[in-house]
């Protein structure tokens, strides 16, 4: 049996003795076509099991109804839930989403963007990889006439004229450190992040600024970069621990980093929060199930995804009026069992306490 040849408009048209265009119009609900004809076309189409060829449609209409979404990772609560929202919202606008995973790798990122351009997606949402250096690819994408929106992670400095939807990394970070200070901690470390991307820079900046503002000396050996993953947290804690003098509390730059810290602490028999306390940026579905339940700055993944799609849609529909600039989504401090006053002052039993900024 040869390659199965699909039913086409011509097949339907042949059956009814009309032209292909009539069929095409009928199926798309074009007003040119009479109700009777429309009904007939639809009937025959479903009889034959017709499935429109989107490639042909897209080629002809010069519109793909496809969105590109590039993220560094999937198996991670933050990205997982953002992706789900983007898919759902895009679908509401009749767009399909093409997901690409860069694995925090700049080369793959470039290749993915080229593929997306090649597929002629109508717009792209990207969360850049951590070690991103060369931003020329983004200018190229723009030159190809495809709207591009940065989500959560933006190259630092951002390419000029770029549009972004981000969370208030700096403000959230300030919230977290202020909480640690309020509990009474005076030695606070910071694990994770780096300087190439906004989220690392701004979260660490919020940390140092808040300490300085309170007149607390910033100790460089307690600021341990190394990325955003669990390994970064694990290794970071180990380095801190080997250095000898350990801070009373650490601020983890992401949720996976905090997980790494938990794992390392467990391995070294350091009790959280008695020996060392933890607070982090970013939440997860299991945050409240860890022991102790992790307090964190929560990023509203849903709003992030929704806003990104909304703004990208505007960019697609009105390419002339490029808004540009950044839409900043506020964060929220969620206090559970870490980084709270030792004698349960702040935390209500069961329910977490929420503080907005």
Whether a cis peptide bond, with omega within 30° of 0, leads into 28 is: no
Closer CB to DNA, residue 36 or residue 350? 36
Judge contact between 20 and 56, C-beta under 8 A.
Answer: no
Closer CB to its own copies, residue 211 or residue 296? 296
Which entry of DNA, its own copies, none binds 357, CB below 5 to 8 A by partner kind?
A: none
Among 1, 2, 29, 62, binds DNA (CB under 7 A): 62
Closer CB to DNA, residue 66 or residue 297? 66
Cβ neighbours, 10 Å, residue 21:
13
Q: Considering the complex, what minimum distance in angstroms separates the CB of residue 108 from DNA?
A: 23
Judge contact between 190 and 223, C-beta under 8 A.
Answer: yes
Residue 357's closest CA among 306, 301, 310, 299?
299
* Site of interaction with its own copies (CB under 8 A): 1, 3-4, 6, 49, 51-56, 58-59, 62, 64, 73-77, 80-81, 83-84, 87, 96-101, 114-115, 117-120, 140, 143-145, 230, 259, 262-263, 266-267, 285-286, 288-291, 319-320, 350
Among 14, 60, 140, 182, binds DNA (CB under 7 A): 60
Bridge partner residues of 353 (DSSP): 335
Kindly write down the DSSP assignment for every residue of 33-72, as one continuous string: S-HHHHHHHHHHHHHHT----HHHHHHHHT---EEEEEES
Q: Considering the complex, what minimum distance in angstroms separates the CB of residue 89 from DNA?
A: 24
- Note whether 53 binds DNA by CB under 7 A: yes
Residues in the chain, total: 357
Which entry of its own copies, DNA, none binds 80, CB below 5 to 8 A by partner kind?
A: its own copies
Among 5, 46, 269, 291, binds DNA (CB under 7 A): 5
Among 52, 80, 171, 300, binds DNA (CB under 7 A): 52
Whole-angstrom Cα distance, residue 134 to residue 141?
A: 13
Strand, coil or helix: what is 189? strand
Q: Considering the complex, what minimum distance in angstroms separates the CB of residue 42 from DNA?
A: 13
Q: Considering the complex, what minimum distance in angstroms separates the CB of residue 13 from DNA?
A: 7
Closer CB to its own copies, residue 174 or residue 280? 280
Binding-residue pattern over the window 11 to 50 for DNA, x denoting contact by CB under 7 A: ------xxxxxx-xx-xx--xxxx-xx------------x
Please, is 246 exposed, middle or buried when counting C-beta atoms within 10 Å of its C-beta (0-12, 13-18, 19+)?
middle
Paired tokens of 235: 């290794």
Whole-angstrom Cα distance, residue 82 to residue 274?
A: 34
Q: What is the CA radius of gyration of the chain?
A: 26
Which entry of DNA, its own copies, none binds 8, CB below 5 to 8 A by partner kind?
A: DNA
Which entry of DNA, its own copies, none binds 32, CB below 5 to 8 A by partner kind?
A: DNA
Closer CB to its own copies, residue 146 or residue 149? 146
φ, ψ of residue 277 in degrees (nearest 5): -105, 165
Strand, coil or helix: what is 164? strand
* Residue spans of beta strands (DSSP E) within 50-185: 66-71, 96-101, 123-126, 148-151, 163-167
Which entry of its own copies, DNA, none binds 255, CB below 5 to 8 A by partner kind?
A: none
Q: Considering the complex, what minimum distance in angstroms separates the CB of residue 286 from its own copies?
A: 5
Q: Considering the complex, what minimum distance in angstroms separates the CB of residue 6 from DNA?
A: 5
Residue 203's closest CA among 255, 242, 238?
255
Judge contact between 189 and 223, C-beta under 8 A.
Answer: yes
Residues in the site for DNA, rule: CB under 7 A?
Answer: 5-6, 8-10, 17-22, 24-25, 27-28, 31-34, 36-37, 50, 52-53, 56-57, 59-62
């Amino acid at each position: 049996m040869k390659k199965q040849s699909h039913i086409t408009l011509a097949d339907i048209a042949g059956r009814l003795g009309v032209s292909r265009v009539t069929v095409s119009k009928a199926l798309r609900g074009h007003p040119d076509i009479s109700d009777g004809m429309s009904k007939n076309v639809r009937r025959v189409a479903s009889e034959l099991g017709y499935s429109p060829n989107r490639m042909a449609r897209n080629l002809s209409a010069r519109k793909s109804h496809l969105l590109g979404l590039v993220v560094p990772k999937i198996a991670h609560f933050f990205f997982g839930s953002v992706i789900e929202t983007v898919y759902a919202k895009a679908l509401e606008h009749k767009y399909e989403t093409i997901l690409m995973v860069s694995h925090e790798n700049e080369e793959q990122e470039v290749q993915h963007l080229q593929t997306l351009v090649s597929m002629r997606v109508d717009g792209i949402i990207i969360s850049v990889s951590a070690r991103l250096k060369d931003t020329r690819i983004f200018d190229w994408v723009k030159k190809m006439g495809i709207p591009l929106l940065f989500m959560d992670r933006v190259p630092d400095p951002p390419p000029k004229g770029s549009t972004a939807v981000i969370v208030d990394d700096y403000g959230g970070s300030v919230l977290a450190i202020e909480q640690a200070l309020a509990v009474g901690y005076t030695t606070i470390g910071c694990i994770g992040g780096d300087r190439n991307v906004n989220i690392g820079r701004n979260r660490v900046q919020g940390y140092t600024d808040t300490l300085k503002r309170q007149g607390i000396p910033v100790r460089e050996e307690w600021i341990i970069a190394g990325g955003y993953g669990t390994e970064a947290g694990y290794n970071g804690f180990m380095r801190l621990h080997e250095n000898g003098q350990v801070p009373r509390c650490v601020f983890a730059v992401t949720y996976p980093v905090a997980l790494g810290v938990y794992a390392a602490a467990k391995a070294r028999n350091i009790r959280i929060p008695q020996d060392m306390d933890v607070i982090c940026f970013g939440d997860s579905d299991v945050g409240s199930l860890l022991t102790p339940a992790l307090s964190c700055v929560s990023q509203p993944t849903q709003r992030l995804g929704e806003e990104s799609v909304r703004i990208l849609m505007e960019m697609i529909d009105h390419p002339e009026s490029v808004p540009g600039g950044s839409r900043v989504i506020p964060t929220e401090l969620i206090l559970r069992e870490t980084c709270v006053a030792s004698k349960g002052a702040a935390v209500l039993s069961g329910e977490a306490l929420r503080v907005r900024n």
